Structure formats: structure tokens, C-alpha cells
Amino acid sequence: MGYGVAGLASPPYPNGCLSSTNNQNANGSYLEDPNYTVKLPIVDDVPGFKWRLVIAYDGTRWQFQTSPPTIQCIVEKALIRGTKLERKDLHLVGASRTDTGVHAWGQVAHFVTPFNYDSLESIHAALNGLLPSDIRIREISPAVPEFHARFSAKSKVYHYKIYNDAVMDPFQRHYAHHSIYKLNTSVMREAAKHYIGKHDFSAFVNASRNDRVPDPMKTIFRFDVIEMGALLQLEVEGSGFLYRQVRNMVALLLQIGKEAIPPDIVPKILATRDRKELAKYALSAPPHGLCLVSIKYNEEHLRLPAGCPTTSFGRTHTVSKCKLPFY
């Protein structure tokens, strides 16, 4: 998701939509996080009421289309129909982008309307009714003017799932990478510790056709390797991530888990700041095992403004009385 916020330049994108899911820049991909650290002030002087969206989507379908529309475009079209506003009036802005085939449970965006809502449940239901079944709005809440889906973010949490067994669970095939090699999780944990802290991750970023220069200095707060039977869940939280950084970090851990290379290779590759050095040992892990789980924000920016409706988590229906005759 892109930059459509007052005070910031909006780069041109194809099909009249902002760059979005699965990295829809020149390579046609969708909403990972080429999370470039752009040192710009949070300037959002668009008048009106601001609303925060929490969005989930299954990246499976988008991976196999040659020219898919971006997920942001689809959400934007639903907003245009649901609010009866023009695209230029909505100022839809997303927190980050995910690569083609990557899933999200906690993607975040915000938009603006010139009017307030009495309740958010109706517009919430309307938007999900307009969206395809593999994209859902999980939450809609009012937001204070200071909130910005991208620049208010403190950290992002990604999970990468690996199914480590001889036979793949067919129910996991779209959401976990299958490794038939028995992985040594102890050495993977040892290696993952080397990622923690502030580092230059130039060796772990793929080249992206983008006119912005990425800041390679990123802080990783935690990198956990959790065993759940045959399923391994790699959980990483960081201040931001470069293009394919998470998938490249996971790919190296997979090679270490196979015991093909030692755990201390991680700081050595980091020190080179050279993507070609990583390529000697590992290619990017497949996208379908990766999911953007949550984005954490400055708590002050998440407070609910006065005079606005409460957060909508969706409308629940109940049957209070059977209207058919009982015999």
C-alpha cells in the first residue's frame, strides 16, 4: 500500500492505484515489506474523519495470476462503492507491502471521509460483502488525526511456517513450506540469535526496481523458532524489513537447519553487506510460508477520538425465536 497522504509525494503507479500488496511495482508483484525507512515527517492535513482498517488476505490466488490487480486496488474499489466517495477523497494509505503469494492476518491501512459514522458495523459488513472471499476487513475503528498506518508503526511481526516431515500435510500446502530434510532446530535457534539487534541487512535484500533508496539498517527485536509437532513456526519482529529480507533470513536458517553450514555463518554474511555472498549458500524461501501477522503502533496513536463510534469487529447474528410452527 502506498503514499496517498497529503504532504507526501505520490509516485505514479499503473492502473491508477497506489503500490500495494505483493509489491506491485515494476515487477507486477503485491501488498513483503520493502519497508524502506524514509525519514519524512508525519504530515496529514487532510480534513475529515480518519478510519483504521485491519485487513487479512490469503495470498495464494494472487501468486498464480500473470497480471493481478493489487489488493489495495480491490480494497480501494470496495471503499469507493461502500462510501460513495471518489478515490482522491479517500486518501487510502497502507502500512506495508507483501510480496506475491505472501499472506496477511494483520495488514493495516487508513482512509479518510468527510463525514462521521454513527456506527461502523454497516459499512464493515458492506465492505466485506463487496470484497472477494480471500480478502477480509477484520476491524474498522476511528483513528485520531496523528495516526498514520505507515509512519505510526513501531514494529512488524512476521511468521514463517515450515512443515518438517517426509509427507506434506495437504491442509498446510498453501501456508507452509515443505522441508523433507530433518531440520536441527537447536542450531537454527543459535543462528537466529545473530539476527537480533541493529544490523546492516544489505546482504539480505533483493534488488527492487524502485526509485527510493532503502535504509539497510534494521533492528530485529526477536527471532524465535517454535516447534509444534511437524510444524516449525519462525517468528520475527523488527522495526522494518527490506525487500525479501525475511524470506532470505529464513532461507539461510533452512540451510543451517539441514546442517549444511554452521550457525556462525550468519554474522559473517551480515558483515559482507553483499547479497552475492548470501546467494552462495541460499536462495529466497518460497513466499507461501510467510504471513504478516501484526503491526504494532504507538499506543497514543491508537486511542479512540471523542465523538466517533466504537470499533467494529464484525456483525454477529443470532436467532432469537423459531417462526415455524412446532408440532
* Catalytic residue positions, numbered: 99
Q: Which residues pair with 218 in a beta bridge?
A: 199
CB 144 within 8 A of CB 184: no
Distance CA 14, CA 139 (A): 28
CB 26 within 8 A of CB 101: no
Distance CA 15, CA 74 (A): 12
Query: Radius of gyration of the chain from Cα atoms?
Result: 21
SS3 per-residue string spanning the chain = CCECCCCCCCCCCHHHCCCCCCCCCCCCCCCCCCCCCCCCCCCCCCCCEEEEEEEEECCHHHHCCCCCCCHHHHHHHHHHHHHCCCHHHHCCEECCCCCCCCEEEEEEEEEEECCCCCCCHHHHHHHHHHCCCCEEEEEEEEECCCCCCCCCEEEEEEEEEEEECCCCCHHHCCCCEEECCCCCHHHHHHHHHHHCEEEECHHHCCCCCCCCCCCCEEEEEEEEEEEECCEEEEEEEECCCCCCHHHHHHHHHHHHHCCCCCCCHHHHHHHHCCHHHHHCCCCCCCHHHEEEEEEEECHHHHCCCCCCCCCECCCCCCCCCCCCCCC
CB 32 within 8 A of CB 246: yes
